[in-house]
Homo-oligomer: A and B are copies of this chain.
Amino acid sequence: MPFHVKKLLICAGAALVLSAPAAQAQTRKKSKAATPAAATKADRTDSLALRKIFDEALLRGESYDNLRYLTGTIGPRLSGSPQAQMAVEWGKATMEKAGFDRVYLQEVMVPHWVRGSRERGEIIGNKDKGIRVPVCALGGSIGTGGKLKAGVVEVHSFEELKALPDAAVKGKFVFYNRPFDDALIEPGQAYGRAGDQRRSGAIEAARRGAVGALVRSLTSARDDNPHTGAMAYAEGVAKVPGAALSTNAADQLSQLLKANPDLQFELEMECITLPEEKSYNVVGEIKGSKFPQEIITVGGHLDSWDLGQGAHDDGTGCVQSIEALRLLRVAGFRPERTVRAVLFMNEENGTRGGNEYARLAAQNKETHLAAIESDGGGFTPRGFSVEADPATVSKLARWAPLLKPYHAADISVGHGGTDIEPLQAAVHPKALIGYDCDSQRYFDIHHTAADTFDKVNRRELELGGASMAALIYLLSKYGL
């Protein structure tokens, strides 16, 4: 960066507040709904409101300090763990301190899977001494019951597995080694396309008589961090252990298999599923001043995987959701519609919290306008991805000029979020909205021991909470 100061940039600062309404006024001129003069006044009010929200966030934001406590003092928060319960209590206390109108818990039973202390993977070739490689159990896997040693067959898809003769699979580990498609611009797409290996790999392996599934970690990164994540078992299919290999380990195993197809892999995992535990969603509410019966939900998930600290996944979404409501409050904007921050429990391995929130919404005959979820990390804002009918997406896109100065103006058609998805069938909100941020680094650390507080940048995190608050301000004022 230059010694020379960025001359032109310096002058551009003061224009920020004015540029948004000016741009939006232009857009509005084409609309028949409002006269240009009226639009300009409203737009200016909105533009100044957003600037106030962002000022609060950047100068006095609390997301970062909240996240430090949640990830550092409490730590990882797998469903059913004591830390998950500590997080519930922390969430409730934090919302109460923020002065919301009402804070309450929604009880929900959750799975309780425990990794255990011993996790070991070893490639055993012709030599006596094996090669230790980084592995971790996939979430929900059974343990190996001591050492499990078997041959390895490498595949890249279920089709490839299906085409193999029984003898090539039976009694072996199936090693799923299809990498991320690095050409995709959105790493989330690569994750989606590779995810079947982790999710259903053990089922498909067991159907063919294999003893276990070894899955290449779901990431573009080449390193020694194995990535955990949920895997499933199917009714009527034998349960076999499922483990993730780091990408370096997967590359190494693949290479060694080429030289020696008869090599063996030894896996040892002590993971176990305990009886379900009682847990909770944490809900905080600010009552709407004009339309209290219309609800806008904003949430993240309070549970996390047990490796790392659950920082980007999804501590950031939790603190941003609380912060979005707090920002509205401290900036002096009482929302016209009721706004709820929800810390969902058990997104990672069951979605019990999301399902229960939706079930209660239906049972209480609630009206839900929209739901927003932040579960793609706490990185620099880009905008929002929207599941809604085209007219609703267009309505949201109308606000893009107001969000543009904050680089949060990218309104695209896309996924809302796992926790808010059950609301769709239950109460038909007009839009499910995913907070969309820069995601290039997300899968480097996703579900690993490296998902820690130090990977989160304060400004990026606070800008995200402010972007969500800005959208809620507009949704609450104008509806959909």
Interface residues of A (CB under 8 A from B): 1-10, 12-13, 16, 54-55, 58-59, 182-189, 191-193, 195, 199, 220-221, 229-230, 313-314, 347-349, 351, 375-377, 380, 382, 385, 387, 405-407, 410, 413-415, 417-418, 421, 438, 440-442, 444, 446-447, 457-460, 463
- What's the number of copies of this chain in the assembled complex? 2
Check B183 against A55 for contact (C-beta < 8 Å): yes
Which 6 A-B pairs rank lowest in CB-CB distance, beginning with the nearest?
A2-B418, A3-B230, A10-B192, A5-B192, A6-B415, A4-B418
Check A192 against B9 for contact (C-beta < 8 Å): yes
**CB-CB nearest in chain B for A314:** B1
**CB-CB nearest in chain B for A460:** B440
**CB-CB nearest in chain B for A232:** B3
CA distance A410 to B380 in the complex (A): 15
CA distance A447 to B229 in the complex (A): 38
A457 to chain B: which residues have CB within 8 Å? 440-441, 444
Q: Report A461 CB to chain B, min CB distance, Å.
A: 10
**CB-CB nearest in chain B for A446:** B1
Q: Report A136 CB to chain B, min CB distance, Å.
A: 16
**CB-CB nearest in chain B for A462:** B182
Candidates B2, B5, B195; contact of A5 at CB < 8 Å: B195
A444 to chain B: which residues have CB within 8 Å? 457
Q: A442-B1, A459-B440 are in contact. Are A9 and B313 (CB under 8 A)?
A: no
Candidates B58, B191, B313, B377; contact of A182 at CB < 8 Å: B58
Check B313 against A1 for contact (C-beta < 8 Å): yes
Check B314 against A191 for contact (C-beta < 8 Å): no
Q: Report A218 CB to chain B, min CB distance, Å.
A: 10
**CB-CB nearest in chain B for A221:** B458
Check A8 against B413 for contact (C-beta < 8 Å): yes
Check A414 against B9 for contact (C-beta < 8 Å): yes
Given contacts A9-B385, A444-B457, 8 further A-B contacts (CB under 8 A): A3-B230, A3-B347, A3-B418, A8-B413, A9-B186, A9-B192, A16-B185, A407-B410
Check B382 against A407 for contact (C-beta < 8 Å): yes
Q: A440-B460, A459-B220 are in contact. Are A414 and B12 (CB under 8 A)?
A: yes
**28 A–B contact pairs at CB < 8 A?**
A1-B313, A1-B376, A1-B377, A1-B446, A2-B347, A3-B351, A3-B418, A4-B418, A5-B195, A6-B188, A6-B191, A8-B413, A9-B188, A9-B414, A10-B189, A10-B192, A10-B193, A12-B189, A13-B186, A13-B193, A16-B185, A55-B183, A59-B182, A220-B459, A380-B438, A407-B410, A438-B438, A444-B457
